[in-house]
Amino acid sequence: MAYNTLTLLFDGPVATLTIQRPEVLNALNRNVLAELRAAVAEVSATPSCRCMVITGAGPKSFVAGADIAEMSAMTREEAVTFARDGQAAFDDLEALPIPVIAAVNGFALGGGCELVLACDVVYAAQNALFGQPEVKLGVIPGFGGTARLIRAIGRKSAMEWILGGDTYPAAEALRLGLVQKVLPADDLMPQAMELARKIASRAPLAVALAKRLVLGATDVCCRDALEAEAQAFSALFGTVDQKEGMEAFLKRRPPVFVGS
């Protein structure tokens, strides 16, 4: 389908979603959030898609935040709807059964940082900047920052980021574990696509189950997470891909996974 504020391209098993509002540093408004949900639904409904990369248009910004011009005129009732729309969009993204890689090519502030937090793996350009500066505007994170940032960098670092409202370079985000790799700008998308293609080559049922288990483990005790892992592990035995993967290993040939 056609979108006005983003592009969604499929290249074999890999989708690339680009936020396309470079004139406002790809800021998130109501339209972007609605189209993001639609694009995620399209990806989810595309059986051949096994991984997605999300990035921002232009060299300056991944997503600079929510659209302040739009927010400044909101009533309290409109604001709670806006927050819930953002949370729903990012929940949809996180819940995708395929992995999502964020390729952060500049500012990832406020809602942009929260978008990063909803992704599974984060690669950043050396010039990327992260932060939750909402307190400088008299508000707080509204798209999941207070919940997800704790899980990404720990409670005390999350407190420092959210209460101080400062921005942090990619190297600091890497040190804290929010980012997995920092790269020269020219290498960002090639490296992100390389990882996406690698993930797409793996057994899709196993990848989807592994992602679901890792996400679910943050909300349950370790013993329950281990039992869920054992059940999911055994559920893959007898699938076509399990037999293919092990046979290919024993015969020393590349596996061909079909997702069943």
Task: Examine the residue annotation and report whether 134 is marked as an active-site residue of this protein.
Answer: yes
| Catalytic annotation, pick one of 42, 77, 94, 114 | 114
Task: Examine the residue annotation and report whether 244 is marked as an active-site residue of this protein.
Answer: no
Q: Which long-range contacts (CB under 8 A, 24 or more apart) does 214-221 make?
A: 215/94, 218/151
Q: Strands of the chain (E only): list them.
A: 6-11, 14-19, 51-56, 61-63, 100-104, 107-109, 121-125, 129-131, 167-169, 181-183
Is residue 108 within 8 A of residue 114, CB to CB? The reply is: no
DSSP string, 124-162: EETT-EEE--GGGGT----SSHHHHHHHHH-HHHHHHHH
| Catalytic annotation, pick one of 35, 134, 229, 247 | 134
Which residues make beta-bridge pairs with 109? 131
Residues with catalytic roles = 114, 134
